[in-house]
Structure 1
Amino acid sequence: MSVVTRTEHDLIGDREIPADVYWGVHTLRALENFPITGIPIGVSPYLVESLAAVKQAAAAANHDLGLLDDERYAAIRGACEEIRSGALHDHFVVDVMQGGAGTSTNMNANEVIANRALELMGYKKGDYDTLHPNEHINLSQSTNDVYPTAVKIAIIMATHALLDAMEVLEASFAAKADEFHDVLKMGRTQLQDAVPMTLGQEFRTYSLMIGEDRARLSESVMLLHEINLGATAIGTMLNAPAGYVPSACGHLAKLTGLPLESAVDLIEATQDCGAFVQHSGTLKRVAVKLSKICNDLRLLSSGPRAGFNEINLPAVQAGSSIMPGKVNPVIPEVVNQVAFQIIGMDVTVSMAAEGGQLQLNAFEPVICYSLSAGLSRLREAVLVLAKRCVDGITANVELLRAEVENSIGLVTALNPYIGYAAATEVAKEALATGRGVAELVLERGLLPREKLEAILKPETLANLAPRPK
């Protein structure tokens, strides 16, 4: 069965394009040249929608300046609005990993918008004499200002989605902190018994850590609101008419609802990837701390017979194909792995930013992919951690209490009441005999029972604040 095609032309020559697709010859070349990851840019809705927003803003500015007639502008605007609403994303097919500083991505967008706009005008796809991907969709633009601007907007949107997810996880840990408010346990330093605390204090720390990182991520994303739209090739605004920059930036800010600002120096902004580096570093910070929390959850739930067994993670699947009854901490494990990948991607972003030369960084596609993938995967991991793990955690209260009463570390809390020398002797005997510290203190008559019980209350041992109302 023969495939119906249309003929398109570029500087290399003529090519046959499937008649039903919205992309064209430039996209076809990219498909052939970059069969790298098998991941098309269309899997990132934030990037596709951001590209459409940039193109719509550019068309509006060109229309304001009399460079686009009403009919062409209305068709371009209509096509862009459809894409921003979720249509035609499957026609954004070029690989996320590509040479050319994003030119293939820009041309994929130009061609899809042009062909859909042609249909809205009543013409066939490929009728570029009427509406052209370069002459009209890319008017007053270059890949070098369109692509970085779209990438920044996409990353801002993905960051907001992650921030929302982190708020859910922060609340999950806070709820557990309230639930475990006065559950006494031993704190540890260097995996050795230290001094008593409560499980609520431990989980409150996790909630605060997430909240602190939400604040840092909110700060770093603000640097991405400075854009270079209108810079064209290298920042000199070649082929962008007077008035285009403020008009295009104003339209884009209105379309996205973001406080976007035009860079003070467009030449600097076109080559500088510092904001990406900083945001990637902050994302890495979030990943590192989340991974540390997951390490703690795995350790505290280890066992159940030969480990810490202080908390129980919800059982979500069988843990072994050979060991009956085994349940593994699979949710913290998957979050760990996402964190490991983000840490590696941060190195990629750093090297890509460093590798740019002169007036343009050609490696922004891998920066875009690394940040977008990291933000998206961490968002999903955070939600899974909250809903399928943290919300269902239970505590082994009696075991935790018994560990406190039997721990050598308890003597530190008793030291102010019985003195260092007596505390040392109690610790030595407890260690040698395996007997409990509290039992030996009573046996030696170092404290009356009532006094000892008062000291062993969570409020005293852990300097515990009143339960939140």
Structure 2
Amino acid sequence: MATTHRTEHDFLGEREISNDCYYGVQTLRALENFPITGIPISSVPELIWSLAQVKKAAALANMELGVLPNGIAAAIVAACDEIIAGKLHDQFPVDVIQGGAGTSTNMNANEVIANRAIEILGHKKGEYKYCHPNNHVNCSQSTNDAYPSAFRIALHQKLSGLIDCMQYLQKSIAAKGAEFSDVLKMGRTQLQDAVPMSLGQEFSAYATTIGEDIERVREARNLVLEINMGATAIGTGINSPPEYTRIVTEHLRILTGIPVVTSANLIEATWDTGAYVQISAVLKRVAVKICKICNDLRLLSSGPRCGLNEINLPPLQPGSSIMPGKVNPVMPEVVNQIAYSVIGADLTVTLAAENGQLELNVMEPVIGYSLFNSISMLCNGFKVLADKCIDGITANKEHCRAMVLNSIGIVTALNPIIGYENSAAVAREALASGRSVYDLVLEKKLMDKALLDEVLSTENLMHPRFIAGGKA
């Protein structure tokens, strides 16, 4: 009968591993030691893809430099290609948060690749004399250069995806800006009536602010192009051959299509996490600004009878277990909560980056988890906000216009003609009496009806012209 388990060992002793598993003893110990989030590293496929690219590039460089036999190197490359194609991702069960500065993640990759390479060479899993996780797959490497390099490549991929999601939302909002270009409404400052504008202008401003953040994300993405492959343990390059750093980086650049470069100082690069701090800050900026937009959507749609009621959000689900007919702004609400989580994650990244002592920052796993999770949530949030909210927004055009014409704020448009003092007096009386600015201006003969109608026309209020002395 075929055995269902194999015996593997490390310097701590022997353990039984299921023959169904491509991972080995060190991954098993990590599973036992770090039952933290219940979220495996395979939940970030970009990271698994990047780990395989790093290991493939290392194998090619080591083969080129003559430190890895061609047959073993070819088997490692073939195993990596399978992982890059999406296979064996279920064999990466290590928790996203772990001690050891990512050693468990690196060894998970080394063991899976080694055991698959062994099969490709015609042998059984665990027969490490044919392809060893440390001696062959990890040749010329350390966790301290392989893991951060894979992390940075994965982060570059995730940020590229975030840019796509932001552009998707921006396009949706910009379309509403065009659709609502002729909807006159009251602008507000300090939640008080200010001066008229169009609803289209309001939405176009939202699209612009998202565009600005897209550029900030693009800039931040460039920070992860510097990698430290060849640094090995602390940046001195111990146990790696001359020219390895240059060659492995060239292979990674070709394999990934990402223009990675070697850091100028590998010792500094091995402990420095400043790029993550800056990227996290950009994500916080994105979160804060989308949160503001969602707050506005909730305010503008408030009511429907007793609020602003300028726009209608698509009704997605009943809003109450006790109040019939109530519909809540659930999409802006969920994006608000995503933003709060991203803002909190920024503090985690900050503390983790600060707490790296001497030649290595051991907190990169929680930095990675925080950044990957923030990016994924933002991307998901942007897509559902566009699809389930923005695209279906409608405007209450007549209600918006009526509020403008009944507001005190339109008196500002009369300043150039009747002067500030007269405008202030009309505003005070309108507030006290409940009468309209329009009626009071005509009653006091401050302007004739034709000129007043011209000044308060929709076109003039949304796109003001200078009118002095009653002449346009």
Relative to the length of structure 1, the TM-score reads 0.97
Partner in structure 2 of residue 260 of structure 1: 260
Partner in structure 2 of residue 338 of structure 1: 338
Report runs of 4+ in structure 1 exceeding 4 Å deviation: none
Partner in structure 2 of residue 89 of structure 1: 89
Q: Which amino acid aligns with 1:197?
A: M
**How many angstroms apart in 1 are the aligned matches of 2:91 and 2:449?**
77
Structure 1 unaligned segments of length 5 or more: list them.
none
**How many angstroms apart in 1 are the aligned matches of 2:212 and 2:3?**
57
- Residue 75 of structure 1 and its aligned partner are, at CA, apart by 1.1
- Residue 446 of structure 1 and its aligned partner are, at CA, apart by 2.2
- Residue 464 of structure 1 and its aligned partner are, at CA, apart by 6.0
Partner in structure 2 of residue 413 of structure 1: 413
Residues 1:406 and 1:345: Cα distance change in structure 2 (over 3 Å) = same
**How many angstroms apart in 2 are the aligned matches of 1:70 and 1:251?**
16
Partner in structure 1 of residue 250 of structure 2: 250
Q: Which amino acid aligns with 1:179?
A: E
- Residue 108 of structure 1 and its aligned partner are, at CA, apart by 0.2
Question: Contact 1:3 / 1:18 at 8 angstroms: preserved in 2?
Answer: no
Question: Contact 1:158 / 1:375 at 8 angstroms: preserved in 2?
Answer: yes
Counterparts of 1:27-106 in structure 2, within 5 Å, are 27-106=27-106
Counterparts of 1:425-464 in structure 2, within 5 Å, are 425-463=425-463
**How many angstroms apart in 1 are the aligned matches of 2:395 and 2:231?**
58
Q: Which amino acid aligns with 1:232?
A: T
**How many angstroms apart in 1 are the aligned matches of 2:215 and 2:442?**
49
Q: Which amino acid aligns with 1:347?
A: L
Partner in structure 2 of residue 356 of structure 1: 356
SS in 1 for 2:374: helix
Q: Which amino acid aligns with 1:139?
A: C
| 1:219 pairs with 2:219 | yes
Partner in structure 2 of residue 303 of structure 1: 303
**How many angstroms apart in 2 are the aligned matches of 1:435 and 1:303?**
24
CA distances 1:20-70 after superposition (whole Å, capped 9, x unpaired): 110000000000100111000011000000000000000000011112222
**How many angstroms apart in 2 are the aligned matches of 1:431 and 1:330?**
36
Residues 1:355 and 1:188: Cα distance change in structure 2 (over 3 Å) = same
**How many angstroms apart in 2 are the aligned matches of 1:233 and 1:439?**
80
Residues 1:289 and 1:84: Cα distance change in structure 2 (over 3 Å) = same
CA distances 1:322-367 after superposition (whole Å, capped 9, x unpaired): 1111110000111011110010100000000000000000000000
CA distances 1:224-267 after superposition (whole Å, capped 9, x unpaired): 10000110000000001011101100000111100100001000
Partner in structure 1 of residue 180 of structure 2: 180
- Residue 457 of structure 1 and its aligned partner are, at CA, apart by 2.3
| 1:328 pairs with 2:340 | no
Q: Which amino acid aligns with 2:313?
A: L
- Residue 3 of structure 1 and its aligned partner are, at CA, apart by 8.2
SS in 2 for 1:419: helix
Partner in structure 2 of residue 163 of structure 1: 163
CA distances 1:126-182 after superposition (whole Å, capped 9, x unpaired): 110111000100000000000100111111100000000100111111111111112
CA distances 1:96-145 after superposition (whole Å, capped 9, x unpaired): 01000000000000000011111111111111011100010000000000
Percent identical: 61
Question: Contact 1:34 / 1:98 at 8 angstroms: preserved in 2?
Answer: yes
Query: How large is the RMSD of aligned CA atoms in angstroms?
Result: 1.2
Question: Contact 2:410 / 2:456 at 8 angstroms: preserved in 1?
Answer: no
Which shifted more, 420-429 or 309-318? 420-429
**How many angstroms apart in 1 are the aligned matches of 2:214 and 2:428?**
46
- Residue 440 of structure 1 and its aligned partner are, at CA, apart by 2.1
Relative to the length of structure 2, the TM-score reads 0.97
- Residue 459 of structure 1 and its aligned partner are, at CA, apart by 3.0
**How many angstroms apart in 1 are the aligned matches of 2:438 and 2:225?**
60
**How many angstroms apart in 1 are the aligned matches of 2:242 and 2:30?**
33
- Residue 442 of structure 1 and its aligned partner are, at CA, apart by 2.4
Structure 2 unaligned segments of length 5 or more: list them.
466-472
Question: Contact 2:96 / 2:369 at 8 angstroms: preserved in 1?
Answer: yes
Aligned residues: 464
**How many angstroms apart in 2 are the aligned matches of 1:177 and 1:40?**
42
Q: Which amino acid aligns with 1:148?
A: P
- Residue 456 of structure 1 and its aligned partner are, at CA, apart by 1.4
| 1:288 pairs with 2:288 | yes
